[in-house]
Amino acid sequence: MATHAQLRLVAPLEVEQPRRVPRTEFGGGGVRSMLLSKALSSTVRPFISVWARIPLAPWPYFVADYAGLALRPVAGTTYERMDLPNCRAEVLRTPSVEDRVIVYLHGGAFLVGGRFLHRQLMSRIADATRASVVAVAYRQLPHHPVSDSIADAVDAYRYVLESGVPASQVIVMGDSAGGYLAYQVALAAEEAGLPMPAGLVAMSPLIDFDGTAKVTAESAATCAVFPPNCFDGLSQVVLRAARRAGEVEALPQAPSNAALQGLPPSLIQASSAEMVYPDAEAMAGALLAAGAEVELQVWDHQVHVFQAAAGVLPEAAQAIEEIAAFVDQVIPDKLLAYA
């Protein structure tokens, strides 16, 4: 008896495949990277683990900033103090400076960092991008809530615009916690009716204060800097600061959950071996879903904010070159010198 194929009376549903985040994958894991990872995993990581057990103790957070004095910036780097409404800032310039301005928001979990810790990294970025870098010493935990950090970052961007620099010549950039602030600046600028910067750069960004997705990811086991309990400690400090400021006692909203349609092009760099790698992926995915232009660059076997080791690691120097190429792409013309 002949058989006949069964007729399909209903067309099968087409399942829409998720769009893959455009990314560039780099190698890594050389001898220098391995030595740096081992050094941090035996010093910084254990210290953070101890801190996370008693995060509300009166830790001398300011001491960490002075570690930056041992790091040598690019030769010829100059510094000029700048006062913002509620904090100070510093303008870094190198001999290569042209007509771009970077508003730089340093990392440090909203707890450490300031005038010295990120100077070397910022001077290398300034030199590679030929930009003036406005380094914002924003108010931080534990004495100020994260909302104050955001407000200071927005003030810095507004100051640059009011100084006569067109937004088309400005990049907002940050590492770790500063990556969170970079996206919050763009979102706040859009809400306030300010023009968007030419682009956003986030290195190893902390996007979500909820650590659940991060501590359960594979990258948590390979992170040389952050132990699994670090987000429990950070949450305690964040919530106490919010309570003391009279704010709603809740963790700050992740920018990946915001309306991102109007944001400018983004470059996100991360290591696949660091705790916050899932945040980098989540932010890139959210931007892509919103129709914003984004590229995710991923290095293997690198530490958190490995770009800071550009004088030692070839991968870090390569990452800064990629940042410079992105800046050249989004700011192709010389429109206005910033002095």
Task: Identify the pLDDT of residue 29.
Answer: 78
Residue of 176, 204, 266, 272 with catalytic role: 176
- Kindly state the tokens that stand for 202: 């986030």
pLDDT of residue 334: 61
- Asked whether residue 1 carries a pLDDT value surpassing 70, the answer given is no
The pLDDT value recorded for residue 4 is 43
Total-model pTM: 0.91
How does pLDDT run across 289-325, given as a tens digit for each residue? 999 999 999 999 999 999 999 888 999 999 999 999 9
Per-position b or e across 164-190, b if 16+ CB within 10 A of its CB: ebebbbbbbbbbbbbbbbbbbbbbbbb
Residues 6+ apart with CB under 8 A from 339: none
Write the CA distances from 60 to 72, 140, 158, 233, 290, integer angstroms.
24, 13, 31, 16, 41
Q: Name the pLDDT band for 44 (thresholds 50, 70, 90).
A: very high
Tell me which of 274, 295, 315, 322 is the catalytic residue. Answer: 274
Active site residue 304: yes
Q: Which of 17-26, 138-147, 225-234, 263-272 has the lowest mean pLDDT?
A: 17-26
CB of 208 closer than 8 Å to CB of 180: no
Query: What average pLDDT does the segment 235-247 reach?
Result: 97
Distance in angstroms (rounded) separating the CA atoms of residues 329 and 306: 23
pLDDT 10s digits, 72-122 = 899 999 999 999 999 999 999 999 999 899 999 999 999 999 888 999 999
Let me know if 293 is a catalytic residue.
no
Cβ burial 220-246 (10 Å sphere, 16+ → b, else e)? bebbbbbbbbbbebbbebbbbbbeeee
The enclosing H or E element of 269 equals: strand 266-271
Of the listed ranges 62-66, 163-167, 229-233, the one predicted with least confidence: 62-66
> Does the active-site annotation cover 33?
no
Q: Which domains does the chain have, with CATH numbers?
A: 24-330 (3.40.50.1820)
